[in-house]
Amino acid sequence: MISSEARFVAAVSEAKEADAGWKALAGLAGSVVGHKLFTVMTVDIPAGLVRRAYSNRPAEYPTSGTKPLLGNTGDWFETVFNQRRTFVANAIEDIAKVFPDHELIASLGCGSVINLPVVLGGDLVAAINLLDATGHYTPERVAAAEALLAIPARLCCALALRFDARAEEPA
């Protein structure tokens, strides 16, 4: 039987585009801590923009366009963007305090969230977002996500940056 880590490594090794890496990370995250919704938000602090780079539920959470960072405040922004620590909420009421799309989140059967900041070269480059049922992200699951997904998430961000750089090269 092939481990989830081995599947992740094989998928990333064969990846020809960023989505393959993100999909592999979603699979690994599913086996490590579980999720119903998995998204990746890339961050461009100098430009003041965020972009949803990957979603396992593209019908509900498409990967198009960018959003300005300006105007983001509160506990979530402070925790993820300024302190670069994991944000956790385990009830839809807590999610509603920081995410305006809380009704859509609840409609997907999600009531808990982990947002894992990804830092490369000292810069926040992404947030990995896992959502599942109310109360799902126990302290043990959060610790597992932080310990077992941190390096794979950085690897996938580096891979995505590599593909982005290639796409910008003149033909």
Position with higher pLDDT, 77 vs 150: 150
Each residue's pLDDT tens digit, 93-133: 999 998 889 999 999 999 999 999 999 999 999 999 999 99
Please, is 151 exposed, middle or buried when counting C-beta atoms within 10 Å of its C-beta (0-12, 13-18, 19+)? exposed
Which range in 2-16, 47-61, 125-139 is most confidently predicted, on average pLDDT? 125-139
DSSP annotation string for 88-132: EE-SHHHHHHH-TTHHHHHHTT--EEEEEEEEETTEEEEEEEEEE
According to the model, what pLDDT value does residue 68 have? 78
- Is residue 37 scored above 80 in pLDDT? yes
Distance of CA 98 to the CA centre of its chain: 16
* φ/ψ of residue 20, rounded to 5: -65, -40
- Integer Rg of the chain from CA: 16
Given a cut of 80, whether residue 76 has pLDDT beyond it is yes
CB-based contacts of 50, cutoff 8 Å, min separation 6: 41, 42, 43, 44, 66, 67, 69
Give the domains, in start order, of the chain with CATH numbers.
4-168 (3.30.450.40)
**pTM assigned to the model:** 0.92
Instruction: pLDDT band for 79, please (50, 70, 90 cuts).
Output: very high
The residue among 77 and 56 whose pLDDT is bigger is: 56
Query: Which of 133, 126, 132, 131 minimizes the C-alpha distance to 152?
Result: 126
Give the pLDDT confidence score for residue 44 in this predicted structure. 87
